[in-house]
Amino acid sequence: MKAIIYANSRTYTIFIDQPIDISIPLRASKENVNAWYLPPPKIYPATLDHWTGSVKSGAAVNFNSIEFNPHAHGTHTECVGHISEEVISLNSCLKQFLFVAEVITVVPEKQAEDFVISEKQLRYAIGNKKREAVIIRTLPNTKDKLNRQYAYTNPPYLLESAAVYLRNKGVKHLLVDLPSVDKENDQGQLLAHKAFWNVNAEVRHNATITELIFVPNSVKDGKYILNLMIAPFENDASPSKPVLYKLHD
C-alpha cells in the first residue's frame, strides 16, 4: 500500500506495508539488552487480594505489571529533561513524528582507551545532505546488540565536536545503536548530550536523542522516512519504536 509524504518542499512515496523496525523489544529476561547497572526488567501478573491477573491462574484476562527503566532496558527516546534541573517531559517536547532521515554507518575510532565517533566521520558520511534525523549504525553490527549487557564495558560514544556538528547542521533527532551518546563513565560531564541540546545557549526543546536501536545489516545507508513513535509518558524519556520507510522519489 502506497502513501504520499510531503516533506521539505518535496513529495515522496513510501510503502506503508514495508516498515523497517529498528527498535529492540523489552523482555522480562536476563537476555534483555541492559545498561547502567540495573537488574533486568520484570513483567508479572498483578495481584489484588486473592486474585492473580493470569489466565493460566484462572483469571479471565492477563493483567501484567511491568518494572523497567527506559534508559537501561531497550530502545528509548529522551529530551533535554534528561539532563535538566527543570522537569521537562518528552511527551510535551515531541509533537511531530515523521521525519526525513539519513542512515549512516560508522566504525568508531580508537582514541586512548576509548572508541569514539568523530566530527570528521560524520562530515564524511553525511556530506552536504540536510536531514531532520540522523541514524547512526556502528560497526561491527552483530545481532548480539539485541541482548548485550553494556555495564562496565565502556561502549563507543560521540565526541562533543560531533554533537556540535549535528546541532549546527540542523539535525533535530539523533538515533544511535549505543546505550548513550556519551562515555559510560565521564564523571557527569555529558558533553555530547549538552552540546546536542545546546544547554548553554538557546535550548533545543524540540530535539531528541534515541539510544539502543538496532539497524539490521540488510538496511542500506541512505534516505528514509522515520516514524518516531513513543509512549505518552510524562517523563524525560520513553520507550520508543522508531520505524523506517524506504523512500521512492
Reported as a pLDDT band with limits 50, 70 and 90, residue 4 is: confident
Convert the pLDDT of each residue in 113-155 to its tens digit: 999 999 999 999 999 999 999 999 999 999 999 999 999 999 9
Which pLDDT score, from 0 to 100, does residue 7 have? 73
Convert the pLDDT of each residue in 54-72 to its tens digit: 999 999 999 999 999 999 9
User: Is pLDDT at 11 greater than 90 in this prediction?
Assistant: no
Reported as a pLDDT band with limits 50, 70 and 90, residue 12 is: confident
Task: Work out the percent of the chain whose per-residue pLDDT is above 90.
Answer: 94
| CATH class given for the domain over 2-27+72-246 | alpha beta
Per residue in 110-136, is it b (16+ CB within 10 Å) or e — as a string?
eeeeeebbbbebbeebbeeeebbbbbb
Using only the alpha carbons of the chain, give its radius of gyration.
19
Which pLDDT score, from 0 to 100, does residue 249 have? 64
Domain ranges within the chain, ordered by starting residue = 2-27+72-246
Task: Work out the percent of the chain whose per-residue pLDDT is above 70.
Answer: 99
How would you classify the pairing of strands 42-45 and 64-67?
antiparallel
User: Is pLDDT at 8 greater than 80 in this prediction?
Assistant: no
pTM (two decimals)? 0.96
User: Could you tell me the sign of the dihedral formed by the alpha carbons of 149, 150, 151, 153, in that order?
Assistant: positive
What's the chain's average pLDDT? 96
